[in-house]
A = this chain, B = another copy of it.
Amino acid sequence: MTHTRTRLERGRNALGPALELVHTGRAPTRAVLTTALGVTRATAGAVASELQTLGLITVDSRPGGATGSHGRPSHRLAIDPGGPVALAAQVHADGFRAALVGLGGRLHATTPACTTVAADPKQILGEVVAAGADLLRETGRHCVGAGLAVPSAVAEPEGTALNPLHLAWPAGAPVRDIFNECLAEAGITAPGYCGNDVNLAALAEHRHGAGRGAAHLLCVATGHRGVGGALVLDGRLHSGSAGLAMEVGHLTVDPTGRPCHCGSRGCLDVETDPLALLEAAGRTPGPEGSLLDQARDLLRAEYATDPAVRAAAHAVIDRLGLGLAGLVNILNPDRIILGGLHRWLLEADPQRLRGLVETRSLWGRSGTVPVSACVLDYNSLVGAAELAWQPVLDDPLAALPT
C-alpha cells in the first residue's frame, strides 16, 4: 500500500540513527525506537516503514509476541535476514579468511581458514577477495561494501599498513588501495575499507558482543605475537588523528624485563604475548599450531596441575594487570574486554587479574572497571564488515540504490 506517510529523503533525518539502533539490538520495537530516538511515535513509525521498504529490516506484526506488560503488544523490529551483506576479509600471520556479514553482525557465510601466506600483499588480498567474491556469487546477495582487517596499524587517511611485521609485508604497503584494486578486479564495485584487527574486533564487540552499552570501551588483545589495543568512545572507534592510536604494546610493565624491538625493555608487547608465557613456563614453542593456540592449550591443560605453568601465568597476569591499570589511569574506560591470550589469562585466574587492575589503578576504590572476555566469533571479521556498513548506518538512503 502506498502510505500517505512522510516520505524521507537522503540527508539529515532519523533513518541512520534508527537503523543503528536496530543494528546494535537496542531497538527491538517501534516503541523502544520512539524513546531511544526521542521522537514521536508517528516519526518512528515512518522511519521503520522506510527501513522496511529499503529491505533492511523486517516488522513482525504477528500478535503472539510475549508482551510482558499491559497495552497493545508492539511489533518486533529485526534485521532482514534476506537483506544485503558486507564482504569481510581478514589476513593474519597464518593465512586469511573471508566472510559475508549482514546487519546486526550476523555471519551469513564464511570461507574455511586458508593458510596461504605471501610477502606480496597483492597476491594475498587477491586470493581473499576472490574467495569473498565466490561467496557473493553463491549466495547471490547484494554487497554494500567490503572491509579488511590486518594485523598492523593502518595510517589514515592514506590507508597504508605501517607495521605488518607478522605478515612479512613491506612497511607502509598501501593496503586499502590494493584491496580496492582487488575488489575491482573481482567485479565488486563496492568501496573497500581497511583497519587494524584489534581495533575492528573492539568495534564489533562494542556493537554486538561483550562491549555493548559501554560508553568508553577499552579492548586489549594479543594476536599470535604482540599486543594490540583499541578504544571505542561513544560508539565510535578512537583511532587517533592518523589512525595510529592505542599502540599500547610499549607500555613498560617490567622495568627489568626482556628487551623489546622498540628499544626499551619490559614492554607489554613482549611480556604478555603467547611467546612470553611459553618461555616463562619453560616450554619450547612447538612447530604445530600457532603460538596463541599452544599458549591457550598450555593454560587450559596444565594451569591447574603444573606449578611452573601456574607461576608463569601469574607472572604474565601481573604484568598485564599493571599495563591495564596504567591504561585505566589514562583512559578511564567503563569496561575492559580482553582477547587473544589475555582472554585465556583472565579465564585462568580472573580474581588475580581483576584485583590487580583495581589495586594498581589510582581510582580503584572509586569504582572498579569490569574486566571481561571477548565473546564474538570472528570479531575482527565482523568489525571489518562494520566499516563497510558504516556509510549505510550514516545515511541509508544515500548509501543504498533506489
Q: Does A379 contact B (CB under 8 A)?
A: no
Q: Does A314 contact B (CB under 8 A)?
A: no
Residues A326 and B162 in contact, CB atoms below 8 Å apart: no
Expressed in whole angstroms, the Cα–Cα distance for A132 and B135 within the complex equals 69
Given the known A-B contacts A240-B216, A242-B366, A362-B247, are A330 and B229 also in contact in the complex, defined by CB atoms under 8 Å? yes
Q: Does A181 contact B (CB under 8 A)?
A: no
Residues A242 and B362 in contact, CB atoms below 8 Å apart: no
Which stretch from A16-24, A66-74, A331-339 is at the chain B interface?
A331-339
Given the known A-B contacts A238-B233, A240-B216, A363-B244, are A330 and B332 also in contact in the complex, defined by CB atoms under 8 Å? no
B-contact bits for A278-289, CB 8 A (1 contact / 0 none): 000000000000
Q: How far is the CB of A334 from chain B (nearest CB, A)?
A: 4
Copy number in the complex reads 2
Write out the residue numbers on chain B whose beta carbons fall within 8 Å of the beta carbon of A240.
Answer: 216, 331-333
Residues B244 and A332 in contact, CB atoms below 8 Å apart: yes
Which chain B residue has the least Cβ–Cβ distance from A163? B362
Q: Does A256 contact B (CB under 8 A)?
A: yes
Given the known A-B contacts A244-B332, A256-B255, A332-B241, are A326 and B250 also in contact in the complex, defined by CB atoms under 8 Å? yes
Q: Does A329 contact B (CB under 8 A)?
A: yes
**Chain B CB within 10 A, most for which of A233, A238, A327, A366:** A366
Expressed in whole angstroms, the Cα–Cα distance for A363 and B244 within the complex equals 8
- Which residues of chain A from 179 to 231 have any CB-CB distance to chain B below 8 Å in the complex? 215-216, 229
Given the known A-B contacts A215-B241, A252-B255, are A330 and B262 also in contact in the complex, defined by CB atoms under 8 Å? no
Q: Does A243 contact B (CB under 8 A)?
A: yes
Expressed in whole angstroms, the Cα–Cα distance for A250 and B367 within the complex equals 19
Expressed in whole angstroms, the Cα–Cα distance for A153 and B365 within the complex equals 14
Q: How far is the CB of A225 from chain B (nearest CB, A)?
A: 16
Given the known A-B contacts A216-B241, A233-B238, A242-B366, are A247 and B334 also in contact in the complex, defined by CB atoms under 8 Å? no
Expressed in whole angstroms, the Cα–Cα distance for A247 and B333 within the complex equals 12
The one of B162, B215, B327, B363 in contact with A363, judged by C-beta atoms closer than 8 angstroms, is B162
Given the known A-B contacts A252-B252, A256-B255, are A333 and B241 also in contact in the complex, defined by CB atoms under 8 Å? yes
Expressed in whole angstroms, the Cα–Cα distance for A243 and B216 within the complex equals 11
Q: Does A380 contact B (CB under 8 A)?
A: no
Q: How far is the CB of A356 from chain B (nearest CB, A)?
A: 12
The one of B233, B244, B246, B330 in contact with A366, judged by C-beta atoms closer than 8 angstroms, is B244
Expressed in whole angstroms, the Cα–Cα distance for A252 and B251 within the complex equals 8
Write out the residue numbers on chain B whose beta carbons fall within 8 Å of the beta carbon of A332.
Answer: 239-247
Write out the residue numbers on chain B whose beta carbons fall within 8 Å of the beta carbon of A243.
Answer: 332
Residues B334 and A242 in contact, CB atoms below 8 Å apart: yes
Expressed in whole angstroms, the Cα–Cα distance for A252 and B319 within the complex equals 14
Write out the residue numbers on chain B whose beta carbons fall within 8 Å of the beta carbon of A331.
Answer: 240, 245, 330
Instruction: Given contact pairs A233-B233, A242-B366, A330-B330, enumerate 17 new A-B contacts (beta carbons under 8 Å).
Output: A155-B366, A162-B363, A215-B241, A239-B332, A240-B333, A241-B332, A242-B332, A244-B332, A244-B362, A245-B332, A248-B329, A250-B362, A251-B330, A252-B252, A255-B255, A262-B362, A330-B331
Query: What are 14 residue pairs bridging A and B, where the CB atoms are less than 8 Å apart in the complex?
Result: A155-B366, A163-B362, A216-B241, A240-B332, A241-B334, A242-B367, A244-B332, A244-B366, A247-B330, A247-B332, A248-B329, A251-B326, A262-B362, A263-B360
